[in-house]
Amino acid sequence: MVLKYTEEEAELEDHSPCATLKAELKMCVLETDCCKIEKKTPRECLRSYNVPQDCIALRNAFFECKRSFLDNRQRFRGRKMLF
């Protein structure tokens, strides 16, 4: 996941449906003390719940976005917008 910075705004190279949630989750976890000070990986921080509630909410939203691809009802109704 790479962010491209232009003069006007930052845009993602990845244009998949859940890419924005993934990028927000990544930035949220990387800004925590768990990653910065304790030098743990983002995965370790998320598994130990050593992150703020905002990051946990983003993780749940990302999970629901990915899960919506497997739900056959969502194929007809469209993806649920969580944000």
**What is the pTM for the complete model shown?**
0.68
Model confidence at 68, in pLDDT bands (50, 70, 90)? confident
| pLDDT range class, residue 7, cuts 50, 70, 90 | very low
DSSP class per residue in 3-36: EEE-SS-EEES--STTHHHHHHHHHHHHTSHHHH
pLDDT in tens, 12-67: 676 777 888 889 999 999 998 888 888 888 888 888 888 889 999 999 999 988 88
> What are the extents of the domains in the chain?
17-76
